[in-house]
């Protein structure tokens, strides 16, 4: 048998019609996110067998966005049977849990750590109650940074451990039906925070080589399993050039080329979102359209690549004090550009 077997076109069309029928009947759904603007830009959320890359400066809200997505994934998608595997390579699982309490209670991380007044017994009890509720969800965590090869082994073992055999009727090339047993894998959201923290192997000459192999590996895994990858990435230093911080310049925007390792990751990604907090860079009028930025909590999501959706720019409020990202109206503009050239 060929090492690289081909697939008949007929199979692709059959699979597509099954998928469309399942979407129409509500049997196949995307993973709904907490943000309607995000869902509207995509296929009503994040599809299975996909890879999403979220890029931004430090402190732009990447991990906050990922954490809120995971926190609300189960309540927002109650009919879906899925698990979560998080590669939390930047922070401890304990830290992530405290951030969840902050979001749930609407209080600051510092307060929960008794760093701005003592945490009240009442709020501590609320943390206990919330923890009891959250640990019921099937979420697992990897804290030690793996190499790409180790990451693949971990995911293969994880998917195999969360699978069952089912009877399925298929048709052969002559349209004759026969029953076979196939392995069915549990749908899984896998997050990687951050891509740059994946360890390089000895054969990698640079971090770029590591990211190329990571992209190729994740693509193979998302085709093999019902996985939705969420990969967090830093931005290149060019985003911080002084000329890109000038009010009203196109350079204010996050571009595809700003994603660290863009060539390595973007070609494999189905969805790419660039995050920016213009106020943090003292930008008052954002981009050529001159969107008025009132404070450093304004968060801009640049949908840079939407393989099955629409590229666009949407505005949110980053409420870091309670670890939450909230939708907001598009800010007014200083002045609209003329349609004439």
pLDDT, tens digit, 9 for 90 and up, residues 175-196: 777 777 788 999 999 999 989 8
For residues 86 and 50, is the Cβ–Cβ distance under 8 A? Answer: no
What pLDDT score does 64 carry? 92
Cβ-based neighbour number of residue 16 at 10 Å: 10
* Gyration radius of the chain over CA positions: 22
- Shortest CA distance to 140 belongs to which of 214, 191, 206? 191
What pLDDT score does 100 carry? 87
What b/e readout covers 116-130, taking b as 16+ CB neighbours within 10 angstroms? Answer: eeebeeeeeeebeeb
Tell me phi and psi for residue 136, to 5 degrees. -75, -20
What pLDDT score does 54 carry? 95
- 131/126 Cα distance (integer angstroms): 8
Give residue-wise pLDDT tens across range 311-326.
999 999 998 888 889 9
Cα separation values, 12 from 8, 16, 218, 312, Å: 7, 6, 21, 30
Cβ-based neighbour number of residue 274 at 10 Å: 26
- Mean pLDDT per 10-residue section of the chain, whose length is 341 residues: 77 90 91 95 94 92 93 94 94 87 89 93 94 93 95 97 85 74 92 91 88 94 96 91 93 92 85 94 94 95 91 93 90 68 38
- Shortest CA distance to 53 belongs to which of 222, 175, 182, 204? 222
């Amino acid at each position: 048998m060929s090492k690289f077997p081909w697939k008949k076109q007929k199979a692709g069309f059959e699979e597509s019609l099954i998928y469309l029928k399942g979407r129409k009947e509500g049997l196949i759904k995307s993973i709904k996110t907490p943000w309607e603007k995000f869902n509207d830009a995509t296929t009503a959320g994040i599809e299975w067998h996909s890879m999403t890359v979220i890029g931004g400066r430090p402190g732009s809200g990447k991990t906050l966005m990922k954490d809120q997505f995971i926190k609300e994934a189960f309540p927002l998608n109650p009919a879906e049977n899925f698990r979560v595997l998080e590669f939390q390579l930047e922070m401890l699982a304990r830290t992530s849990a405290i951030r969840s309490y902050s979001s749930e209670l609407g209080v600051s991380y510092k307060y929960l750590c008794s760093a701005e007044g003592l945490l009240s017994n009442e709020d501590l009890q609320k943390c206990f109650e919330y923890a009891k509720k959250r640990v019921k969800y099937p979420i697992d965590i990897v804290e030690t940074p793996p190499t790409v090869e180790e990451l693949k082994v971990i995911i293969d073992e994880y998917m195999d451990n969360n699978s069952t055999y089912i009877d399925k009727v298929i048709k052969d090339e002559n349209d004759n039906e026969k029953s076979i047993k196939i392995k069915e894998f549990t749908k899984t959201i896998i997050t990687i925070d951050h891509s740059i923290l994946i360890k390089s192997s000895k054969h990698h000459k640079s971090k770029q080589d590591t990211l190329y192999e990571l992209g190729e590996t994740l693509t193979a895994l998302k085709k093999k399993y019902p996985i939705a990858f969420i990969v967090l990435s830093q931005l290149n230093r060019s985003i911080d050039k002084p000329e890109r911080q000038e009010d009203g310049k196109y350079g204010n925007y996050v571009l595809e080329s700003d994603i660290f390792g863009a060539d390595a990751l973007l070609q494999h990604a189905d969805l790419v979102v660039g995050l920016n907090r213009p106020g943090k860079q003292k930008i008052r009028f954002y981009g050529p359209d001159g969107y008025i930025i009132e404070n450093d909590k304004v968060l801009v999501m640049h949908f840079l690549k939407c393989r099955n959706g629409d590229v666009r720019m949407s505005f949110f409020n980053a409420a870091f004090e309670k670890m939450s990202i909230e939708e907001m109206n598009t800010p007014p503009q200083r002045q609209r550009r003329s349609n004439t050239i």
